[in-house]
Amino acid sequence: MTGEYDAETTYPPNKHQDQPQEAPQGKKLRTRHVTMITLGGIIGASLFVGSANIIRNTGPAAMLSYAAGGLLVFLAMRMLGEMAAARPAVGSFMEYARVGLGKWAAYVVGWLYWYFWVGVIAYEAVVGGGMLNGWFPALPAWAGSLALLAIFVCTNLISLRSFGETEFWLASIKVIAIVVFLGAGTLFALGLWPNTTFSVSNLWDHGGFMPNGIGVVLSSIALVLFSYFGTEIAVMAAAESENPDKGIRQAAKTVIWRVMLFYVGAIFVIVTIVPWNQLPAPSVIAPFTYVFSLFGVPGAELIMGLVIFTAVISVLNSGTYSAARMFAALAEQGLAPKAMAKRTKAGVPAFAVIASTIGGLIATLVNFIAPSSGIYDFIMNSTGLVALFVYVFIAVTQWRLRVKMTPEERSNLKLKVWLFPWLNIILILGAIGIITIMMFSESGRTQVWTSLIAAGALALFWPLVRRKAALKKEKEDLVLPPSLDEVRQ
């Protein structure tokens, strides 16, 4: 970047700014960790279970909803990738928002992102505890939830490599399950599986490809978009890897085919094998479990139950990582308590990991102790717009940073967004359109208003945080010697 930025948004940072601590080289994530986190990052229970609701409402055209949502995610990841390839940062889009828009933007998007993942930690712990209770009735659901929280706070506290290794194997199970599902499902739909007939006509035989109209297809985009949220974890993890440049470019470039293969491909298999209006509700049986049972796979329900459980705890593991790294990045910029930035010898922000888990623990306990209070539901609903907020901040930040570049800096970009700034405009308008669509349904309106309330409550604390950050900078200016640039001036 050029020297047009003020002291608060210098790019790269000068010596007056806190430098993030990193894990020792031998403790960083390896390429295989980043690769599998990149591949498995978007595969969760929302695909294995939640896709049934989208299909039952939309019909075979659910593929279009997933493809359109995936396109918006791809645009956001490409923009994030351009910024991250130029300057890898664990704080990811929060750090770039600070550079491009100022600390107020970093404060808003960073804290909202942390809040989102605390909610996810609680949700996955509750779901995981419920699944353990189903398999082991003697184990109360609350006890199972607490056990899972304890396991993954320890996994994240040990070392960055410990997180990466755990996520590698959990993601591997999810990817293998999807690949087997796609392979067997394609043979099944084409009538090449034993005792099957050609069933691709299910795409149009039961009321047409779009039985409930284009409106339902468009409104479903708002729902599927949140299934994809988490792809940015790969960029955050790549920044802590042995080869950040390679990992970041890989994560940004491959997201589109991952979306098309894992999500759109899986939905295609389901709607060609099973008539959309005959697919059981997920509360009865998960769609993947139902289709696997049609394959004649022995113990299909148990196998898929274990895969879904793997997906749940994988998100719990990566959610703990994401929340902690964002908390630490906020602290490094003076936007959160300073202790959250402190790292162990292994490079782990231990206090940030513990604090994030405690946040998830509180929300989890509220669900079990006071389920009728509405607090847990508010937390879950109020994170509904965070994905859209983040994508808009990414689009606006990348736009501003690109405009501030010199022609030489633009030509040296390792990863570049095409058709600038038209894709930025498409992403921003897409987010606004989704929020508008959400206002036409009761559940959507609830998510919109609760998200705005949470964002408004966060904004109330900004003047206090800004004042503390300014005082901190004044003290540093008095202590630190002048930089080389300042001496030359």
If we measure between CA atoms, which residue out of 189, 211, 192 comes closest to residue 201?
A: 189
Mean pLDDT of 174-191: 92
Residue 22 pLDDT > 60 = no
Residue 465 pLDDT > 60 = yes
Does 68 fall in a domain?
Answer: yes
Please give the pLDDT value at position 359. Answer: 92
CB 52 within 8 A of CB 220: no
Does 229 fall in a domain?
Answer: yes
Determine the Cα–Cα distance for residues 240 and 35; give it in Å rounded to an integer: 13
CB 217 within 8 A of CB 60: no
Does 87 fall in a domain?
Answer: yes
The length of the chain in residues reads 489
Does 169 fall in a domain?
Answer: yes
Residue 476 pLDDT > 70 = no
Burial class from Cβ neighbours inside 10 Å (0-12, 13-18, 19+) for residue 464 reads: exposed
CA atoms within 13 A on the CB side of 144: 22
Determine the Cα–Cα distance for residues 80 and 394; give it in Å rounded to an integer: 6
What are 57's two structure tokens? 């409402």
Q: Which of 19-28, 169-178, 367-376 has the highest mean pLDDT?
A: 169-178
Determine the Cα–Cα distance for residues 259 and 178; give it in Å rounded to an integer: 12
Determine the Cα–Cα distance for residues 134 and 147; give it in Å rounded to an integer: 15
Please give the pLDDT value at position 109. Answer: 92
Residue 1 pLDDT > 80 = no
Residue 138 pLDDT > 50 = yes
Residue 362 pLDDT > 90 = yes
Please give the pLDDT value at position 482. Answer: 54
First to last CA, the chain: 19
Residues forming a β-bridge with 29: 241
Does 5 fall in a domain?
Answer: no
Determine the Cα–Cα distance for residues 145 and 131; give it in Å rounded to an integer: 10
If we measure between CA atoms, which residue out of 155, 344, 314, 137 comes closest to residue 233?
A: 314
CB 216 within 8 A of CB 58: yes
pLDDT-derived band at 10 (thresholds 50, 70, 90) equals very low
Mean pLDDT of 338-348: 90
Please give the pLDDT value at position 291. Answer: 92
Residue 285 pLDDT > 70 = yes
Residue 189 pLDDT > 90 = yes
Please give the pLDDT value at position 8. Answer: 42
Positive or negative CA dihedral for 75, 76, 79, 81?
negative
Angle between helices 62-86 and 51-58 (to 10 degrees): 130
For 10, other C-beta atoms within 10 Å of its C-beta total 17
**Residue keyed to tokens 């390429």:** 31
Residue 146 has φ and ψ, to the nearest 5°, of -65, -35
Q: How far is CA 107 from CA 22, 361, 458, in A?
A: 22, 23, 9
What are 359's two structure tokens? 């946040």
CB 334 within 8 A of CB 469: yes
If we measure between CA atoms, which residue out of 101, 261, 96, 92 comes closest to residue 179?
A: 261
Determine the Cα–Cα distance for residues 255 and 263; give it in Å rounded to an integer: 11
**Domain ranges, residue 83:** 29-118+163-300+377-466
Buried b (16+ CB within 10 A) or exposed e, 67-76: bbbbbbbbbb
Residue 384 pLDDT > 50 = yes
**AA identity, residue 330:** L
Q: How far is CA 402 from CA 6, 93, 236, 285, 468, in A?
A: 16, 15, 21, 48, 30
Which has more confidence, 39 or 453?
Answer: 453
Please give the pLDDT value at position 488. Answer: 47
pTM: 0.86
Mean pLDDT of 254-275: 89
453 φψ region: left (φ > 0), alpha (ψ -120 to 50), beta (else): alpha
If we measure between CA atoms, which residue out of 27, 44, 317 comes closest to residue 155?
A: 317
Positive or negative CA dihedral for 77, 83, 89, 93?
negative
Mean pLDDT of 284-305: 88
**Residue keyed to tokens 């403790």:** 27
Residue 473 pLDDT > 80 = no
**AA identity, residue 317:** N
Does 348 fall in a domain?
Answer: no
Query: What percent of the chain shows pLDDT beyond 70?
Result: 90
Please give the pLDDT value at position 19. Answer: 46
Does 462 fall in a domain?
Answer: yes
pLDDT-derived band at 323 (thresholds 50, 70, 90) equals very high
* Number of domains composing the chain: 1
Mean pLDDT of 139-159: 94
Q: How far is CA 469 from CA 18, 214, 243, 343, in A?
A: 12, 49, 33, 21
Please give the pLDDT value at position 23. Answer: 55
CB 77 within 8 A of CB 251: yes
Mean pLDDT of 11-31: 55
Mean pLDDT of 389-399: 93
If we measure between CA atoms, which residue out of 252, 261, 254, 258 comes closest to residue 232?
A: 252
CB 94 within 8 A of CB 109: yes
| Cis before 349 (ω within 30) | no
Say which CATH number the domain at 426 has: 1.20.1740.10
Average model confidence (pLDDT) across the chain: 85
CB 310 within 8 A of CB 288: no
CB 7 within 8 A of CB 480: no
Does 224 fall in a domain?
Answer: yes
